[in-house]
A and B are shown apart, each in its own frame.
Chain A
Amino acid sequence: KAGVTQTPRYLIKTRGQQVTLSCSPISGHRSVSWYQQTPGQGLQFLFEYFSETQRNKGNFPGRFSGRQFSNSRSEMNVSTLELGDSALYLCASSFGGYTDSPLHFGNGTRLTVT
């Protein structure tokens, strides 16, 4: 069974630009969550999508947004990039239903903002 796939693996952008990151969950998983990992703040929850609806949201500004498609694939968008947005962005998927299902993570997208 294929794992969580994130593309691209690396991105370099300039301040003020916007970026879109993509995540394909494990087959059958309907929940996709996004996390930001930085040396200073550690792993922080951005948001979660389940059945194309945002189900949970972390404490990030509105520049960070996401969406989920009918096939459960998800995209995350960051607009008006700032230097502080440089981070590893991790996507995780799970079944997301009524029984617990652990989160499985992808290898991440390393975003560098210059």
Chain B
Amino acid sequence: GEDVEQSLFLSVREGDSSVINCTYTDSSSTYLYWYKQEPGAGLQLLTYIFSNMDMKQDQRLTVLLNKKDKHLSLRIADTQTGDSAIYFCAERGAHGSSNTGKLIFGQGTTLQVKP
């Protein structure tokens, strides 16, 4: 079935790089997403990658996709205290086409950035 797994917690020093990992089970996923959630807020779309891509870079964010291992990672360069939040990995639902509104989310990784 559909399942997305993430580690629950990551702590880094300000200025270091952060790498948040995610594994998924649905090989038919077309798009994979990273969202950020700050306390008391909704989900902010950070970036997303199409399944036929290996890498996508967007300013301080780099997404790597290993489709063979169904592994996705988000690298944040020069991590700042403002990056402290929960990060969610998500894939499109297996039963829908790429344009449906059903996402399967991981449990979220809490990123703690120490000054």
**A residues adjacent to B (C-beta < 8 A):** 4, 6, 31-33, 42-43, 45, 48, 50, 55-56, 58, 90, 92, 94-108
Contacts and interface: CB of A to CB of B under 8 A. Distances in A.
Contacts of B40: 107
Contact of A102 (B42, B45, B102, B106): B45
Contacts of B48: 102
Nearest to B30: A100
B88 A43 contact: yes
Contacts of B101: 31-33, 48, 50, 55-56, 92, 94, 96, 103
28 contacts: A31-B101, A33-B102, A42-B105, A42-B107, A43-B105, A43-B108, A45-B103, A45-B104, A48-B101, A48-B102, A56-B95, A92-B43, A94-B101, A95-B99, A96-B99, A96-B101, A97-B99, A100-B30, A100-B98, A100-B99, A103-B45, A103-B101, A104-B45, A105-B42, A106-B42, A107-B40, A107-B41, A108-B41
Given A56-B101, A96-B99, 5 more contacts: A43-B90, A48-B101, A92-B101, A94-B101, A99-B99
Select the residue from B35, B40, B45, B100 with max chain A CB neighbours within 10 A: B100
B29 to A, nearest CB: 12
Nearest to A50: B101
B35 A55 contact: no
Given A43-B88, A90-B42, A103 B103 contact: yes
Given A45-B93, A90-B42, A104-B45, A56 B100 contact: yes
4 tightest CB-CB pairs across the interface, nearest first?
A33-B101, A48-B101, A43-B105, A105-B43
